[in-house]
Amino acid sequence: MKKLSLLILGLCSGLLSAQTADDVELFQLRNLHGTPRYTAMGGAFTALGNDFSAYSINPASAAVNRYSDLGFTLGFNNRNGQYSNFYGQKGSENNLNVNFENVGLNLILNPDDANRFSLAFSTTKLADFDRSFNLDGLSNSYTLGQYWAESSAGQHIDNISWDAYAAWQAYLLVSTNDTIDPDGFAYGEDDGNGNIIANSTLRYTFNQDGSFNETNIVMGLDQGGKVYYGLSFGFPTLSFRREEFITEYNLNNSNPPYSANQYTFRRLNDIYANGFNMKFGFIYRPIPELRIGASYQSPSWYTVNQFYESDVEANFNQEPYSGVGTATQSDILETGQYSYRLRSPAIYRAGVASVIGKFLILSVDYYYQNQANTQLYTNNNSFNISESLLQTDYQPGIDQLYRNGRQTISAGAEVRIKKIFLRGGYRYDESVYDKAYQDNTVGAMQSLSFGLGYKSGPWSFDLAWINSSRDRSYALYRGIDQSNQSFEVLQDLNMTEVSNNIVAGVTMKF
């Protein structure tokens, strides 16, 4: 046997992950990450500034600083997923990770002048993808092998799907003259009435890691303490890797070649991307107690490199065919690396804040993004994927599933008691998906946060706790029925995901 590439298979499987709406969603995430002060106040900093994470939403923030400063932040994140009615079971999964959140440097180039210039650098985490879990002991009455056999019955192996071909290579599908037999899955037993019983116990293993970060180079101008302007160049980078294992065991079986007792289907989706955007913003102080801010973030243009592979392993009570052995494995069917371009929509931000003396700050932010402007395309540097494929097979799905207008609302407060700062915040971030599809994808995220700060001379020590929650549906395996409609071969996993992130940071002014 030989390793097959995407080009050899001719994109025969509609389930291949060349670029799905789920993949594009990764580039739309702006979770509540960053410095302790920023996160504790819900990220409502468009009109406030003076914070390293605020540079990623309004570059005028860098101009608000009176002194040069340097800061670093780490996060300690606990994720919990609650699920119910998944093959009749309920339960939870937990993950604990230590994350980099932010590092920043702001240099005031002429601190003694009325109009001050600043040059700042900041790298901030926008989203974290790390999580792993394992679900076992699930009773299943309709198996993957049955679906692959039914969808391939009577077809030559050159015309069946990518996944079915891997199953055939592992002898999990039975063929005659390289044509898949009716009921051609290599397990099951007759109940005596002509019906084949092919139940299984299901195990699902999910391993995912990666992050979405952005580095900003910021130039700011403080014009007499009245108006602050900013311009930044953003360089977002995304790294994502998801590997899933679906194992079905305790299979009913009979005589060879129908003697399989277990098999595992593995799939891997690996994405790396880097991009570019620009941001323009201002903050205006009509009176000392009021600040009004607004910013525009251009579309982000990404170069995306992606890799997808899958394979099937099987175990048999007896050799399915002489000389094959009882442990079989398909080739690793892979796309090889392919590259394309992605444009994510522009973001419009506005905020208003009230600074009352030196003891109270109140702030509210509003973001708007038109998801309909998400676009896949190729250029001269793209390879191993065509423009026609993106526009025919994948762009229409994104256009259908995504909402036109997506909004984010956040609010925060800070109270100062001598050297102690008490903070609180709230954030509501709409899903990128249209409301009609959120039950089968991902819903809105809500975040509640609190924080504590202590300032001594040039040093500031800050701590924040952020609780975020949303509903998400994971598609274990979707198939295509005779009407060419998608359906759940294996049940979707519906989870309520709750994240508790403790963020700690230190800042030094100089």
pLDDT at 79 over 70: yes
What residues does 305 pair with on adjacent strands?
Answer: 272, 339
Average pLDDT over residues 95-120: 93
Question: Does pTM surpass 0.85?
Answer: yes
Could you give the CA distance from residue 341 to residue 375 in angstroms, rounded to a whole number?
A: 8
Residue 426 DSSP SS3? strand
pLDDT digits (tens, 9 = 90+) for 146-192: 999 999 999 999 999 999 999 999 999 999 999 999 889 999 887 77
- Residue 4 clears pLDDT 80, i.e. is over it: no
- 444-497, pLDDT tens digit by residue? 999 999 999 999 999 999 999 999 999 999 999 999 888 888 899 999 999 999
CA distance 345 to 84: 35
- Distance between CA atoms of 90 and 266, rounded to whole angstroms? 24
Residue 324 has pLDDT above 70, yes or no: yes
Res 284: pLDDT: 98
Give percent above pLDDT 70 in the chain.
Answer: 96
- pLDDT of 438 over the 90 cut: yes
- CA-wise closest residue to 295 among 343, 347, 258: 347
Q: What is the pLDDT of residue 9?
A: 34
- For the chain, what is the mean pLDDT? 92
For 36-45, the pLDDT digits (tens) are: 999 999 999 9
* pLDDT of 281 higher than 60: yes
Query: What pLDDT was estimated at residue 353?
Result: 98
Query: Which residue spans within 288-404 are E strands per DSSP?
Result: 290-297, 300-316, 327-329, 333-334, 338-344, 347-356, 360-370, 375-377
- Average pLDDT rounded to a whole number, residues 24-47: 95
Question: Dihedral through CA 344, CA 345, CA 346, CA 352, nearest 10?
Answer: -110
> pLDDT of 231-274, one tens digit each?
999 999 999 999 999 999 999 998 999 999 999 999 999 999 99
The CA distance from 463 to 448, in Å, is 14
pLDDT in tens, 326-375: 999 999 998 888 999 999 999 999 999 999 998 999 999 999 999 989 99
Q: What is the reported pLDDT for 369?
A: 96
Q: Supply the pLDDT for residue 104.
A: 97
**Model confidence at 51: pLDDT above 70:** yes
As a whole-number percent, the residues of the chain with pLDDT over 90 amount to: 83
pLDDT value at residue 183: 86
d(CA 207, CA 268): 10
> Does the bond joining 236 to the residue before it have cis omega, within 30 degrees of 0?
no
